[in-house]
Chain A
């Protein structure tokens, strides 16, 4: 079953704790992306990666970190420096020949 998986679906953390969100794809896509979605605000780009071991900041990278050690995986860490981390987080990937991004099911993070 091909596609993009994100885990877990729901995540709860205490304020001040770092938390890592998982994103895996078996589509053999080179590029991967992380977005944050808040009600009424659409999707905002956090980080993106064009190739293994390389990534770029998006529009709202402060308080987040990523790694791209494998082509299939692009985990996002929400650090304690992120002032308002409660949101819906979406991962996406894109193949070199498609110019089209495909999304995972999302992870809803709630910081208590």
Chain B
């Protein structure tokens, strides 16, 4: 399967700091998605990116779809305690012979915010 490399694996920051995480892939994707997962819950979609070079914001979150279509980053500005959780990137690709696009996930970035 296609591999996504997400970094960093974990981050420990103080409230108010900005955060940046990224994903890279050896394959081209047509869609990049960023999810946040709270403990014991399902991932919640934060931002969806559909076009190379696209820069999209959602409140304090900003994400970009890389020009090469093989990478994406997510920035969080002025972090707050409720930003704590695991952030996943996902790229949509196609298995050989299939017409159904499936998501490939990074391993996640665990964010801890100290008050």
**Interface residues, chain A, CB within 8 Å of chain B?**
4, 6, 31, 33, 40-43, 45, 48, 50, 56, 58-59, 88, 90, 92, 99-106, 108
A42/B102 in contact, CB under 8 A? no
> Which of B43-51, B55-63, B75-83 is near enough to bind chain A?
B43-51
Q: Which residues does chain A contribute within 8 Å of B101, judged by CB atoms?
A: 99
Residues of A within 8 A of B108 (CB): 40, 42
Q: Is the CB of A42 within 8 A of B107?
A: yes
- Asked if B103 is at the interface of the complex by the 8 Å CB criterion, the answer is yes
How many residues belonging to B are interface residues under a CB distance threshold of 8 Å?
26
- Return chain B residues, CB-CB under 8 Å to A90: 42-43
Alpha-carbon gap, A101 to B31, bound state (A): 11
Q: Does B100 contact A31, Cβ atoms closer than 8 Å? A: yes
B111 interface hit (Cβ, 8 Å): no
Chain A hits for B99, CB < 8 A: 50
B92 at the interface (CB under 8 A from A): yes
Q: Residues of B contacting A102 with CB < 8 Å? A: 45
